[in-house]
Amino acid sequence: MNPALTAAGAREWLQRFATAVDEHAAELTDLDRPIGDSDHGVNLQRGTRAVLAALEAADPPTPGAALTKAGSTLVSTVGGASGPLFGTLLRRTGKALGDSGSVDGAALATGLRAGLDAVVALGGAQVGDATLVDALAPAVEALEAGGSAAEAAEAAERGAASTDDLVARKGRASYLGDRGTGHRDPGAVSIALLFAALAGSGAGEGS
């Protein structure tokens, strides 16, 4: 069984996420072009790079502190919807984890549920609205059911793919109505990258 999530594990998770965003920034921007402001990839790339610098400077002692710092940094450095939504997810998850030096899969699932709830409260989106929630909710549910990080990543990937056939009801994409169908939501794809990074870090599954 993989180790519980520690401060070092949280930093590795976020490092892997930042690397994935770097690798997929152009793709994310291309996905955003027909339905948004054509800036999702570059905005998230700028934010995740700022996160790594902030973590290097602060050296948070717990996984909760690392995620809280990452979330606050995203909120302060990323414009548009990405900063508030991804920042809220990480910050609220981090606060829910508290001051523990390590957290197991069940605790991480609880923390991410708090993050999901905060994202829903902030943006008002539900599953089926063609937003990042379509990837985030099934990933969290997979962890809550005792699944591995890899299973959560697979659930997030399926959720992101499901936005291809949905009519957006939130955000700029909602202005397109039926014309937005057939375009995968870049925020949902980024959530899939976040959970793939968690699975790649090998953390957060211990009991």
What per-residue string of b and e applies to 116-125 under the rule 16 or more CB within 10 Å gives b?
bebbbeebeb
Q: What's the pLDDT at 54?
A: 98
Confidence of residue 207 (pLDDT cuts 50, 70, 90): very low
CB atoms within 10 A of CB 57: 8
Residues with Cβ within 8 Å of residue 127, at least 6 apart in sequence: 133, 134, 137, 138, 159
pLDDT, mean of residues 82-86:
92
What rounded mean pLDDT belongs to the chain? 88
**Which is more confidently placed, 165 or 121?**
121
pLDDT over 70 for what percent of the chain? 86
Q: What are the structural domains, with CATH classification, of the chain? A: 5-201 (1.25.40.340)
Q: Is the pLDDT of residue 45 over 70?
A: yes
Helix axes 40-58, 82-97, angle to 10 degrees: 30
Strand partners for 103 = 5
174 has pLDDT over 50: no
How far apart CA 102 and CA 200 sit, in angstroms, is 18
pLDDT in tens, 143-168: 999 999 999 999 999 999 999 876 65
Q: Confidence class of residue 3 from pLDDT cuts 50, 70 and 90? A: low
CB 155 within 8 A of CB 113: no
Pair of tokens at residue 76: 């302060």
Residue type, 164: D
181 to 32, 157, 167: CA distances (angstroms):
13, 18, 5
